[in-house]
Chain A
Amino acid sequence: MNALLERSVSGHLPELLTQRLPRPNGVGSVIYVNAEGASRLLPEGQLATLLPKATLWVLNDAAVLPAALWVEVEGSGTRIEIRIASLNDESGTFSAIGFGSGNYQVQTEQRGAVQQLPVGAWLRSAASVRFEVVHQTGRLFELRCAGGYRGLLHALYTSGAPIQYAYTARPHQLREVQNSYVGRPWAIEPASAGRHLSASVLSALQAAGQQLAWLTHAAGISSTGDAALDALLPFPERYEIPEATAVAVAAARERGSLVVAVGSSTTRALEAAASPGGALQSGSGLASLRLHADYEPQVVDVLLTGIHEAGSSHRELTRAFASDGALDAAWHLAAAHDLKLHEFGDAMLIRRR
Chain B
Amino acid sequence: MPHGEPKNWGVSSVLITGASRGLGRALALELCRRGVNVALVARNAEDLEATTAEARKLGEARGAKAEAIVADVADLADAPRIAGLAQALIGPLDAVVHNASDLGETPLASLLDGDSERLEQVFRTNVHGPLALTRAVAGNFLLHGRGVVLGISSDAAVEHYPTWGGYAASKAAFDHLLGTLAAELGDGLRVLSVDPGEMDTDMHRAAMPDADPATLADPQAIAIQLAHLLAAPYRVPSGTRLSTRELSALEAA
Contacts and interface: CB of A to CB of B under 8 A. Distances in A.
Interface of A: 59, 61, 63, 65, 150, 153, 157, 173-175, 178-185, 199, 202-203, 206, 211-214, 216, 242, 244-245, 248
A63 B3 contact: no
Contact of B145 (A61, A65, A212): A212
Nearest to B76: A175
A202 B142 contact: yes
Given A185-B88, A212-B145, A245 B77 contact: no
Interface stretch (B43-51, B79-87, B168-176, B202-210): B79-87
17 contacts: A61-B144, A65-B84, A157-B81, A157-B84, A175-B77, A178-B136, A182-B140, A183-B87, A183-B137, A183-B144, A199-B139, A202-B142, A212-B143, A212-B145, A214-B2, A216-B92, A248-B3
B70 to A, nearest CB: 10
- Of all A-B residue pairs in the complex, the 10 with the closest CB atoms, nearest first, are A181-B139, A185-B84, A181-B143, A183-B140, A180-B139, A184-B87, A213-B2, A175-B80, A183-B92, A174-B80
Contacts of A245: 2
B114 interface: no
B1 interface: yes
Nearest to B69: A157
B179 to A, nearest CB: 17
B3 A61 contact: no
Nearest to A213: B2
B77 A212 contact: no
Contacts of A212: 2-3, 143, 145
Given A63-B83, A212-B145, A248-B2, A184 B77 contact: no
Contacts of B1: 244
A265 to B, nearest CB: 15
Given A63-B87, A153-B89, A183-B87, A174 B81 contact: yes
Contacts of B83: 63, 182
Contacts of A179: 139
Contacts of B137: 183
Contacts of A178: 80, 136
A124 B89 CA distance: 22
A202 B140 CA distance: 11
Given A153-B89, A183-B92, A212-B143, A63 B84 contact: yes
A59 B88 contact: no
B116 to A, nearest CB: 28
Given A65-B84, A153-B85, A202-B142, A184 B2 contact: no
Interface of B: 1-3, 77, 79-81, 83-85, 87-89, 91-93, 136-137, 139-140, 142-145, 184-186
Contacts, number: 79
Of B83, B85, B139, the most chain A CB neighbours within 10 A belong to B139
A304 to B, nearest CB: 15
Contacts of B136: 175, 178
Contacts of A199: 139, 142, 184
By secondary structure, the B interface counts as: helix
Contacts of B184: 199, 203
Nearest to B67: A150
A202 B143 contact: yes
A61 B93 CA distance: 12
Contacts of A242: 2
B2 A63 contact: no
Contacts of B140: 61, 181-183
A212 B4 CA distance: 10
B142 A181 contact: yes
Contacts of B142: 181, 199, 202-203
A198 to B, nearest CB: 8
Contact of B2 (A175, A185, A211, A216): A211
Contacts of A211: 2-3
A65 to B, nearest CB: 7
A216 B140 CA distance: 11
B143 A61 contact: yes
Contacts of B87: 63, 183-185
Of B77, B89, B137, B140, the most chain A CB neighbours within 10 A belong to B140
A203 B143 CA distance: 9
A214 B80 contact: no
Contacts of A180: 139
A182 B85 contact: no
B88 to A, nearest CB: 5
Given A153-B88, A248-B3, 15 more contacts: A61-B140, A61-B143, A63-B84, A65-B84, A173-B77, A174-B80, A178-B136, A181-B140, A183-B137, A184-B87, A199-B142, A203-B186, A211-B2, A212-B3, A213-B2
A59 B186 contact: no
A184 B84 CA distance: 6
A183 B93 contact: yes
Given A61-B140, A206-B186, A212-B145, A184 B88 contact: yes
Given A178-B136, A183-B93, A184-B91, A59 B84 contact: no
A150 B79 CA distance: 19
Contact of A214 (B89, B91, B144): B144
A150 B89 contact: yes
Contacts of A153: 85, 88-89
